[in-house]
Chains A and B, each alone.
Chain A
Amino acid sequence: MGAMTAVTLHINGERFSRELDNRTTLLDLLREHAHLSGAKKGCDHGQCGACTVLLDGRRVNACLLLAVSMDGTDVTTIEGLSDGNALHPLQQAFLDHDAFQCGFCTPGQICSAVAAIAEARAGWPSVVTAQDEPEGPVELTAPEVRERMSGNLCRCGAYVNIVSAVREVAR
């Protein structure tokens, strides 16, 4: 048994408190301790993006963060995006555009897209738009969506539909 540390955070608005082995990742906290299996473990190395969740509103790879460093944070997972039975606009757009096939990457894609749209609205530049030093919201053109979503792999190759789903909600 390794060293243990108590951690308290809010997951999808609910308080979650647990004493955890220091080596536990945020992803394992979510999947194995909070039993929220929406965030997926595709590689556990920050390479695929399937574990993307929102940490204090910003997108992160949950597999690359240690749970004990999450004390006092707010984490939103795919399970926390919908409002009761009403889907989040991005969830609906992914459905309508058939922006997935097997769906394994989808929770990560959608969480990533939520943050990508927020980042663009807040005027965060991409590598390319940074050259022009934009002021105010950045328009999510197809190349902008591609650049900003490039941390999330989709092996089924639903990328074309992911671009259109994200752009629809960004408008």
Chain B
Amino acid sequence: MGATRIPGNITQGSTAKGGIGESTLRPDGTLKVTGEFAYSSDMWHEDMLWGFTLRSPHAHAEIKSIDTSEALAQAGVYAVLTYDDLPTDVKNYGLEIQDTPVLAHGRVRHHGEPVALVAADHPETARRAAAKIKVEYVQLPVVHDEQTALAEDAPLLHPGRDDHHAGHVPHPNVVHRQPIHRGDVAAARARADVIVSGEYVVGMQDQAFLGPESGLAVPAEDGGVDLYIATQWLHSDLRQIAPVLGLPPEKVRMTLSGVGGAFGGREDLSMQIHACLLALRTGKPVKIVYNRFESFFGHVHRHPAKLWYEHGATKDGKLTHMRCRIVLDGGAYASASPAVVGNASSLSVGPYVIDDVEIEAVALYTNNPPCGAMRGFGAVQACFAYEAQMDKLAAELGMDPVEFRRLNAMSQGTLLPTGQVVDSPAPVAELLRRIKAMPLPPERQWETAGESADVRALPGGLSNTTHGEGVVRGVGYAVGIKNVGFSEGFDDYSTARVRLEVVGGEPVAVVHTAMAEVGQGGVTVHAQIARTELGVTQVTIHPADTQVGSAGSTSASRQTYVTGGAVKNTCEAVREKVLELGRARFGSYHPAWATAELLLESGKVVTDGGEVLADLVEVLEGEAIDLELEWRHRPTEAFDLHTGQGNGHVQYSFAAHRAVVEVDTELGLVKVVELACAQDVGRALNPLSVVGQIQGGTTQGLGLAVMEEIVVSKEAKVRNPSFTDYLIPTILDTPTIPVDVLELADEHAPYGLRGIGEAPTLSSTPAVVSAIRAATGLALNRVPVRPEHLTGT
């Protein structure tokens, strides 16, 4: 019963107008507001089975035995798979280090690790059958922090490591270590009139995308499998999936289905391999959808971190030096930990000029939940700490915190601690000036014309805990720096295929990439680029799949830059082909074909002087021009493993925030009244989307500041895997977010654009905490700030 539902045409041809720089609406927007957009959890196939994953109840245990017989005997159960059923010698996967078992082999290393799989005719049947699998565990000592991880007799998470970081780390429970040394810290320290230091803690944040991990695997007649999936990077998934299945990549055909948010949490695999294994075993389509509880175990989280910092400054407010040590808890498997270490270390200085630094960042292997990519990774943790330090220094020097930051702000030409020159605009001082110049929101907004208070404007909100008594306002500022694109020598490229042809008498461009649209608006921008470069109105966005080359990951703020750059590049090549055709067909009729700069505008070939030479329809006649090309940004280099020197990054993104909070000092409750943001975006390809990204990132930063934390016990167990206990901002928690967009072009980037998605997530958190400090006078060295941190109870 029911029609088969797969993403045949996720985004159809758009009639929306608009080239780059215009606030064109989303081509997939109508499908999204009518409920027709097919998310991965909406995939449906006749006769499909439902998969379920049995997970470890322990954080660290040896598996003595697994008995699946009772589960298999259940009516409606088609397959039960364990490690022993894996079809090839490839039994692990991973983004950079292949250390993650597809199914546990003799040992589980974290709470919620997948142990066995069930396929059944109903999701409840599968769940109940999984409960009948008998796993005999013997619990092992738990590694849960730096001390237990690096102890001499610490249990090793991954004994016998042979990955490329294994040789240089100081302990096998360290995934990766990156030191950075520059200048002479001892001499610089001696020049300092004031020195401040502090230890800062960032809790474990969750991406908490609303669309749970899900997908549909359909076995194919050729022995392969078709996988409809929500992910951030189809080709990275494919590289990890195919070897485990023992299939050549071309037999694992992946199509992106609707993605219900990502924020880094879909950079790693979740149920992809599991669904394929069950489908290939049973010969039937298999759908897996995680429930919310399981989703908290089904993806990596933001690395919790401990950060120790020391800064010095002279009396006149110039920074002398910085020393820091950043310890990131990577949990049981490596995931993106090495890249998180790279970002945290290389951006630990913040957007400031400091010539003398000693930096060390490490990521640990522990039995805590695995941590990896989340919006702004590495840079988010560092920003909370260095911005707290800036406030401390300013206070120590008796200076205005914004003026102190402006005095030390980096700019174009600044040398980073890695020895890399910032070679595009870095308007840090200007962003700070703008954010401070914005008008402040009115005071005491809870006061109404009548006798009653509008408690929505007060800490505690509808709980009606105060009508203004004990409420103190605070204002705080922060600024941050995030790298854009994949760094440290990674071959970061994207592929775009563009087809131009005449359909129904009108030229139509079809843009085909493997870019994961996760809500960032990449498909909107692709259509805009095609309109601008090819002078067409009609653009069709082909569903993203693995039938075209890789588009890289929808992460690191890179997609508009890199896949947008690829679409632009392919469009330019298509345009050249059009002009070649035109010259061949009409070149003899007008000398401008040979001499003038030619453009495609409004369906016509025109000279740069605006003279029309031919209709695109006439030039193309019956021909279609169809090109697929790769495009790369400037290459980067790895950081030296001892000195940290190297041109590791390709671009930076800067945002500054001002937070205004009201704090109920008696109950420790916080109301964020306003979070203003100023950000340089290079060039706003779609101003409406740009503001949306900035407001979204800002909101997630607010969540980390005062609400969001996965609580992990000393036994390394997750304590709050639900939206009742893990709180994300609601519409009532979210303040007004005025946005000031600066556009200083980066000459190295397509259209001068800057990747923008992550920067607003960085400075939002420290700005809110700075405002709470201003209101309360408390030190507040950890996020999220909880009521007990404010009341001291």
Contact = CB atoms under 8 A, between A and B. Distances in A.
B and A form one assembly? yes
A77 B36 CA distance: 11
A82 B35 CA distance: 10
A145 B521 CA distance: 26
A37 B216 CA distance: 15
Contacts of B722: 43, 45, 47
B450 A103 contact: no
Interface stretch (B22-30, B149-157, B387-395, B539-547): B22-30
Contacts of B732: 146-147, 150
Given A42-B211, A155-B208, A157-B697, A146 B33 contact: no
B211 to A, nearest CB: 4
B38 to A, nearest CB: 7
A55 B57 CA distance: 39
B5 A101 contact: no
B260 interface: yes
A3 to B, nearest CB: 14
B452 A131 contact: yes
A151 B286 CA distance: 33
Given A143-B456, A146-B456, A157-B699, A78 B208 contact: no
A136 to B, nearest CB: 17
A133 to B, nearest CB: 11
Contacts of A96: 25
B723 A40 contact: no
A158 B26 CA distance: 14
In the complex, the 5 A-B pairs of residues with the closest C-beta atoms, listed nearest first: A38-B35, A102-B519, A157-B699, A103-B32, A104-B260
A125 to B, nearest CB: 12
B731 A42 contact: no
Looking at A110, A158, A160, the one whose CB has the most chain B CB atoms below 10 A away is A160
A156 B261 contact: yes
A96 B3 CA distance: 31
A149 interface: yes
Contact of A160 (B23, B38, B689, B695): B695
B39 interface: yes
B34 A159 contact: no
Given A153-B730, A158-B692, A158-B696, A104 B35 contact: no
Interface string A111-123: 0000000000000
B272 interface: no
Interface string A7-24: 000000000000000010
B450 A132 contact: yes
A45 B292 contact: yes
A149 B454 CA distance: 17
Contacts of A40: 39, 41, 210-211, 260
Interface string B699-738: 1100000000000000000000011100011111010110
A154 interface: yes
Given A40-B41, A48-B292, 5 more contacts: A48-B723, A98-B688, A100-B29, A150-B732, A163-B731
B449 to A, nearest CB: 10
Contact of B35 (A77, A143, A159): A77
B513 to A, nearest CB: 18
A81 B33 CA distance: 10
A150 B730 contact: yes
Interface string B30-64: 10111111110110100000000000000000000
A143 B461 CA distance: 11
A155 B30 CA distance: 20
B25 A102 contact: no
Contacts of A132: 450, 452
A79 B30 CA distance: 12
B212 interface: yes
B297 interface: no
Contacts of B333: none
A150 B461 CA distance: 12
A159 B25 contact: no
Interface string B423-461: 000000000000000000000000000101011110000
A35 interface: yes
B259 interface: yes
A159 B733 CA distance: 10
A155 B263 contact: yes
Contacts of B700: 155, 157
Nearest to B726: A47
A116 to B, nearest CB: 11
B698 interface: yes
A29 B2 CA distance: 13
B518 interface: yes
B190 interface: no
Nearest to A103: B32
B9 interface: no
Given A127-B462, A157-B699, A157-B700, A102 B210 contact: yes
A102 B728 contact: no
A61 interface: no
B697 A35 contact: no
Interface string A78-91: 11011000010001
12 contacts: A41-B289, A43-B292, A48-B292, A50-B210, A82-B34, A98-B688, A102-B210, A102-B259, A103-B28, A128-B455, A146-B731, A155-B261
Contacts of B695: 157-161
B520 interface: yes
Contact of A98 (B25, B36, B44, B262): B25
| A96, A104, A131 — most chain B CB neighbours (10 Å) | A104
A167 B759 CA distance: 29
A79 B36 contact: yes
Contacts of A31: 42
A140 interface: no
Given A50-B210, A91-B34, A104 B39 contact: yes
Contacts of A38: 34-36
Interface string A59-101: 0000000000000000001110110000100011011101011
Contacts of A78: 33-35
B83 interface: no
A162 interface: yes
A108 B697 CA distance: 22
A170 interface: no
Contact of A143 (B450, B454, B520): B454
Contacts of B211: 40, 42, 102, 104
Contacts of A158: 692, 695-696
A31 B699 CA distance: 31
Contacts of A160: 695, 734, 736-737
B760 to A, nearest CB: 10
B137 interface: no
Contact of A44 (B34, B291, B689, B731): B291
A168 B789 CA distance: 40
A110 B34 CA distance: 9
Interface centre among B34, B450, B731, B736 (most CB of A within 10 A): B731
A62 B41 CA distance: 16
A41 B123 CA distance: 14
B260 to A, nearest CB: 3
B557 to A, nearest CB: 15
A157 B33 contact: no
A39 B723 contact: no
A156 B730 CA distance: 11
B209 interface: yes
A107 B39 CA distance: 12
Given A132-B452, A155-B208, A157-B697, A95 B33 contact: yes
A29 to B, nearest CB: 13
